[in-house]
Amino acid sequence: MVTVSDSELLFPRSFIPAALHERVGPDIEIRPLAESDYTRGHFQLLTVLTEAPAISPERYVERFRSMKACKDTYYTVAFIHKPTDKLVAVGTVFIERKFLRGAGVVGHIEDIAVSSSMQGRRLGLYLINSLEEIARSSGCYKVILDCSKDNIPFYEKCGFQLKEYEMALYF
Ligand code: ACO
């Protein structure tokens, strides 16, 4: 596995709870997404979630840097399979600042993907745990997400409760 320098990361490593490193097993490293993760199968991994046509490496870096420039907002956590140096799980918590609730902040969990060969190893659960902890330490009063009916039992196992309905308008 190639060691990624701290300057390449979306946010500081210290945001990821230390206890999770032991739980995922010795073959997995948990760290923030890195600018070079384009080459570690980020797009192949996202196809378990939805259509994820690859963009150019330049566009990837541009998007990565625009997210990093939004201070204290985007936290994408990546799980790397050390023997192959490939991403096997990824997910994001996006921090929304509100006027409501005394200028409160809300965490939105988005784009959770665990590679098919790694599903059932609790990586999904640990990924959600890491995003939840980042939301908590960012001062969020809640963390929310949208998912399919089939994934409700998974999120219930992660401690979430069913609330409200999702609406969408596609362009
Ligand atoms: N139905 C019922 N239970 C489930 C399901 C399911 N679909 N998926 C996981 N679980 C249970 C597991 O059995 C386990 O239970 P246990 O604690 O009793 O053993 C617990 O939930 C934790 O499971 P993990 O092993 O952590 O789940 P996994 O690593 O396989 O990740 C995930 C689950 C993320 C849904 C994965 O299967 C995946 O990537 N699927 C394809 C993409 C996807 O649907 N992503 C979520 C989109 S929603 C969003 O992005 C906000």
Rounded distance from Cα 124 to ligand 1 centre (Å): 6
Query: CA 170, CA 30: separation in Å to the nearest integer?
Result: 34
What is the percentage of the chain residues whose pLDDT exceeds 90?
A: 95
Ligand 1 centroid–CA 12 distance in Å is 27
**Is the C-beta atom of 61 inside 6 A of ligand 1?**
no
Per-residue pLDDT reduced to its tens digit, 138-150? 999 999 999 999 9
The per-residue pLDDT for 5 is 95
* pLDDT given at position 112: 98
Helix (H, G, I), strand (E, B) or coil at 101: helix
For residue 28, list its beta bridge partners: 81
Binned at pLDDT 50, 70 and 90, residue 3 comes out as confident
pLDDT band for position 54 (50/70/90)? Answer: confident
Q: CA–CA distance from 112 to each of 98, 141, 142 (Å)? A: 24, 21, 18
Query: Closest Cα partner for 11 from 160, 128, 146, 135?
Result: 135
Rg (CA), the chain: 16
| Ligand 1 mutation target, pool 154, 155, 162, 166, most atoms within 8 A of CB | 154
Residue 1 has pLDDT above 80, yes or no: no
pLDDT value, residue 75: 98
Distance 69 CA to ligand 1 centre (A): 31
User: 151 CA to middle of ligand 1, Å?
Assistant: 7
Beta bridge partners of 90: 78, 113
Q: Which atom of ligand 1 is nearest to the CA of 119?
A: 30
Residue 151 beta carbon below 6 angstroms from any ligand 1 atom: yes
Res 109: pLDDT: 98
Q: Is the CB of 68 under 6 A from ligand 1?
A: no
pTM of whole model > 0.90?
A: yes
